[in-house]
Structure 1
Amino acid sequence: MMDREQLADFLRTRRAALQPEDVGLPRGPRRRTEGLRREEAAALAGMSTDYYSRLEQRRGPQPSEPMLAAIARGLHLSLDERDHLFRLAGHNTPGRASRSDHITPGLMRILDRLQDTPAEVVTDLGETLVRTPAGVALFGDPAAHTGPARSIVHRWFTDPATRERYAPEDHPGLSRFFAASLRAASSRQGPDSRAARMAADLQARSPEFAEVWKAHDVGGHRPDVKHVVHPELGVLELQCQVLLDPEQAQELLVYTATPGSESHQKLKLLPAVSAP
């Protein structure tokens, strides 16, 4: 059963504990109170201010599990705090076996300071959990994908539009890397895991995946340079720096370009172009 009073109090308390600079927002000269405003917390969680405000006012509907996960990320909750949030909202707590959908507060703080840089947090299945605004401008909104298509590994072998976002010379290396990454995830998670089911599905749907899968590569080497094709800016030659969170089986990917290069100049234009 949903505990509206305790849920509202918990949300208000956690919102008040976060400072604007903790989440990459300017404090501004007119801010009179400590903590985040409701509209800021709502924006971080990807929901309307009205919806979030009703939760804090003890009159909102029962939020869904995806909505609670978004609130947990937006408010930088720890795993224990996330579980508490789910219980207050009348849901079972998410399992921690895969530990792949919750982003730790430390990783979120780093991401918040990279808002003008293309960056994202991805799971070991290649599912993007969150992107910076610059990352959305470069790659698109990850919320556009649902189900197995949340994983770029799955899309790479089933959706030709995904491949169009990378230069042809990158395709063979990315195919090997994605297959090897999925094999490593399947090995860690076991034969009855989502990773194993995705591998079986791709073997049935993609002859290329089935062929690459036979090589039994595990983990693989992420290509040092990616040639990303943006619909308005053209080809950008980018390096991908990786920060691993082994406890959550997540990676923070940060995309940069050599200073002074044409691609570096194009990255500066990302805020001015629409998301693909």
Structure 2
Amino acid sequence: MDRRELADFLRSRRERIAPADVGLPAGPRRRTPGLRREEAAQLAFISTEYYTRLEQARAPHPSREVLAGLARALRLSDVERDHLHHLAGVPPGPLPGPSREVRQSILDLLHRLPQAAAFVMSATFEVIAWNDLAAALTEDFSALSRRDRNLVRRVFLGPHPKQGRLYGLSDVDAFARSSAQQLRATAARYPDNREVSELVDELLCGSAEFSRLWASHDVCAEPTLCKTLHHPLVGPVTVNCDVLDIADRDQRVVIYTATPGSPSEEALRLLSVIGTQRMDVAC
């Protein structure tokens, strides 16, 4: 255990977090940059005394539970989490769970693609960030609960709107097969994560199709480069599908673009104007 390096690392991570980032008021008398020690301790569910001793290089060996709390409280990336464990002399174990925190640069990227429908999925197929055109093409994710933003749950368990299963995707069966395969790989990466295991159990109990695909033990999924979504207002929209992996967060950016000059490009332009408003509902 490198107490001095651990202390300096914790201090540097604490000082970079603005109080507003964790829902705390800045306050007029705040002198320290970032969080106070007692605030970091509270977020990590440890005593202020123990956290202070960690930053003073006087604390005893922290447990895995303490390190997990510190990583969560200080919003460490997976690389930083592993570094924390090495400094503490505790080899990092399996990742605690799929990350739902999207880097600001990725959020900025989504909104710099006004002619593309783009969104970010976690390793469990939860949509965790999106731009306006993605919401207009599929649905307003901001109006949905976390549960209903999970695409693998939606494709196997519904609900299925009038335009068809999962937004009327032309390759919905291929997506279902691919998502089951990728979810199996996710379950292997996070064997101790309760949320992942509960999702798998729910799908196994609720979908015979998922149970059949799960039983195959396949983990290799073929990408689909082109697909059609059936929108209730503008009709079928055929898009090119590109997926960018964010390796350090175990996330994927999905980008839908239409061929220039095609009817689908015109449809996307129309959707960018319409947005998520319901034009088919009488006032």
In the superposition, the TM-score normalised over structure 1's length comes to 0.64
Pairing 1:249–2:257 present = no
The structural deviation recorded for 1:205 is: 0.6
Alignment match, 1:226: 227
In structure 2, relative to structure 1, the CA distance for the partners of 1:219 and 1:123 (3 Å cut) is farther
The structural deviation recorded for 1:247 is: 0.7
The structural deviation recorded for 1:212 is: 1.5
Pairing 1:153–2:152 present = yes
Structure 1, unaligned runs of 5 or more:
1-5, 15-51, 59-80
Alignment match, 1:10: 18
In structure 2, relative to structure 1, the CA distance for the partners of 1:154 and 1:164 (3 Å cut) is closer
The structural deviation recorded for 1:256 is: 0.4
* Structure 2 residue identity aligned to 1:232: L
The structural deviation recorded for 1:108 is: 2.5
Alignment match, 1:135: 134
Alignment match, 1:165: 167
Alignment match, 1:110: 109
Which of 14, 27, 43 does residue 91 from structure 1 map onto?
43
The more displaced of 97-106 and 151-160 is 97-106
The structural deviation recorded for 1:112 is: 3.0
**Which whole-Å CA distance do the structure 1 matches of 2:230 and 2:39 have between them?**
43
The structural deviation recorded for 1:237 is: 0.8
Structure 2, unaligned runs of 5 or more:
1-13, 29-33, 45-72, 79-95, 279-283
Q: Secondary structure at the match of 1:161?
A: coil
The more displaced of 102-111 and 119-128 is 102-111
User: Is the contact between residue 123 and residue 250 of structure 2 (CA under 8 Å) also seen in structure 1?
Assistant: yes
**Which whole-Å CA distance do the structure 2 matches of 1:164 and 1:252 have between them?**
18
User: Is the contact between residue 183 and residue 219 of structure 1 (CA under 8 Å) also seen in structure 2?
Assistant: no
**Which whole-Å CA distance do the structure 2 matches of 1:237 and 1:99 have between them?**
31
In structure 2, relative to structure 1, the CA distance for the partners of 1:89 and 1:104 (3 Å cut) is farther
Pairing 1:202–2:208 present = no
The structural deviation recorded for 1:182 is: 0.9
In structure 2, relative to structure 1, the CA distance for the partners of 1:214 and 1:108 (3 Å cut) is same
In structure 2, relative to structure 1, the CA distance for the partners of 1:233 and 1:55 (3 Å cut) is farther
In the superposition, the TM-score normalised over structure 2's length comes to 0.63
Q: Deviations over 1:55-96 (max 9, x none)?
A: 5677xxxxxxxxxxxxxxxxxxxxxx8x98x94696342686
In structure 2, relative to structure 1, the CA distance for the partners of 1:256 and 1:116 (3 Å cut) is closer
* Structure 2 residue identity aligned to 1:165: Y
User: Is the contact between residue 186 and residue 193 of structure 1 (CA under 8 Å) also seen in structure 2?
Assistant: no
1:50-65 equivalences in 2 (<5 Å): 55=25
Alignment match, 2:143: 144
Q: Secondary structure at the match of 2:237?
A: strand
* Structure 2 residue identity aligned to 1:10: A
Q: Secondary structure at the match of 1:217?
A: coil
Q: Secondary structure at the match of 1:166?
A: coil
1:47-86 equivalences in 2 (<5 Å): 55=25
In structure 2, relative to structure 1, the CA distance for the partners of 1:87 and 1:133 (3 Å cut) is farther
* Structure 2 residue identity aligned to 1:127: E
Pair member with larger Rg: 2
**Which whole-Å CA distance do the structure 2 matches of 1:90 and 1:143 have between them?**
30
User: Is the contact between residue 164 and residue 229 of structure 1 (CA under 8 Å) also seen in structure 2?
Assistant: no
